[in-house]
Structure 1
C-alpha cells in the first residue's frame, strides 16, 4: 500500500456563484466515503490567514516561505491505497466534488518515519 497526496492550489477552485455550499457538501461527502472505505489518512487545507515562516537549521525564523518557490496553499487529502489506478479513481471523485482538477503524487516510503 502506498500513500498518495491528492491536492489543488486555491486558485484552481473557481466556484460559480451560488454553488459554494454544494461544493462544501460534496467535498465532505467524498471524504466520508474515503473514511468508510478505510483509505483516508488525513486531509485539510492550508490556513491562508496565517503567513508561513521559514525556520533555518540554526533556529533562525524569517517571515514568509522560500522566496523562490510558488506559494503553497489550497487543499489536500492523503489516502493509503493499493494501486495508482485506484488513486486516480479517488482523485477523479475528489475533483468532481471540488469542481477542480487535482494533482496526484505518491509519497516515498521511509521505514524510519
Structure 2
C-alpha cells in the first residue's frame, strides 16, 4: 500500500501566537484519528535547535545542509493509504488543523528491500 508524505514548511504556518495551543490540539486530534483508522506511520517536525550536517561517503562531516536548497523544516506526516483520493482527504484535514496548505507526495518504495 502506498505511503504518502503530507508536509508543510515552517514559514507556511502563520498562526497568531494565541491560537497555537488550539492548532496543536487540532493537529493532534487528526493524528489520533489516523492512528485509530490504522493509516498512521509517523509524524513530527524537524528539530531546528539541532543544526543539519552533510555526511560524505568517506564519513567526513560538514556543518550545515545544502546551501543551494531551501531549508528543510516544518511538519511531516506519513500515512499508509489505499488511494490518492484518501491522501488528499487526510491532507485537507491536516491543512484545516494546521491552518496552512499541505504538500502531498507519494513515496517510491524500493521493493528490493
Normalised by the shorter chain, which TM-score bucket?
A: over 0.9
Q: Distance in 2 between matches of 1:92 and 1:112?
A: 32
- Residue 27 of structure 1 aligns to a residue whose secondary structure is helix
- Looking at structure 1, the residues matched to 60 and 112 of structure 2 have their Cα atoms a distance apart, in angstroms, of 27
> What is the number of equivalent residue pairs in this alignment?
113
Q: Distance in 2 between matches of 1:17 and 1:28?
A: 17
Which residues in structure 2 correspond to 1:1-113 (within 5 Å)?
A: 1-113=1-113
Q: Tell me, which stretches of 5 or more residues in structure 1 are unaligned?
A: none
| Alpha-carbon distance between aligned partners in 2 of 1:14 and 1:100, rounded to the nearest angstrom | 8
Consecutive unaligned residues in structure 2, runs of 5 or more: none
- Scaled by the length of structure 2, the TM-score of the pair is 0.97
Coordinate RMSD, CA, aligned: 0.8
CA distance in 2, matches of 1:19, 1:43: 21
Report the Cα offset of residue 40 of structure 1: 0.3
Distance 1:112 1:63 in 2: 33
Structure 2: distance between partners of 1:78 and 1:7: 9
2:18 is paired with a residue whose SS is coil
Q: Deviation at 1:112?
A: 2.8
